[in-house]
Amino acid sequence: MKSAEPTQKLAKTNAARLLDSLGITYELRAYEVDPEDLTAISVARKIGLPAEQVFKTLLSHTNIGEHLFAVIPGDSELDLKKLALAAGAKKAELASLKDVEPLTGYIRGGVTVMGARKPFPAFADETIELFDIISVSAGLRGLQLILSPADYLRATQATLADLTKASAPESIGDAR
């Protein structure tokens, strides 16, 4: 069963208000939500951008209990070892889905760094700088923000790092 977000939902979200307060130009783009498919790849198809330009925001935590946001391309998988290294921790794990809303104020499929309940450190995959525009959640399912990577990085104060798993088969380089 699919549900569409009504047009009046284009009202300002906390993320959009933050961008407004910083004088950052952006576009709000609505799309139809399928609760059974909240993937960034699905969102990319619906808003007409390549999946690598639609960045998903994942909440994680380190071995010392610090929570972090990881912002990665929609067609990529987070490498938790790389995130831990970037954060100066020994280990990182994805936060439990039951913890996401209480910690961020956002539900799965609508998580964004901007306007989150708590200002956790954010790390963005370095590929974010390859594009003229990117898309991130506006803080609601069915609503994306389109903006420049530089403006996103300024608004979130995210640290750039290599955060994704290599797409090459793991067998390459295993010859002894």
d(CA 24, CA 69): 21
d(CA 110, CA 124): 17
Instruction: Look at residue 12 in the predicted model and tell me its pLDDT.
Output: 85
Instruction: Look at residue 48 in the predicted model and tell me its pLDDT.
Output: 96
Q: Which residue has the higher pLDDT, 173 or 138?
A: 138
Whether the predicted pLDDT of 173 surpasses 60: no
Closest CA to 113 of 63, 147, 77, 164: 147
- Homologous superfamily of the 27-161 domain (CATH): YbaK/aminoacyl-tRNA synthetase-associated domain (3.90.960.10)
Whether the predicted pLDDT of 100 surpasses 80: yes
* Mean pLDDT, residues 27-44: 93
Query: Domain-by-domain residue ranges, the chain?
Result: 27-161
d(CA 154, CA 24): 9
Strand partners of residue 67: 61
pTM score, whole prediction: 0.87
Alpha carbon distance, N-terminus to C-terminus of the chain: 51
* Mean pLDDT, residues 47-58: 97
Q: Is 26 exposed, middle or buried (0-12, 13-18, 19+ CB in 10 A)?
A: buried
11 pLDDT tier (thresholds 50, 70, 90): low
d(CA 72, CA 48): 18
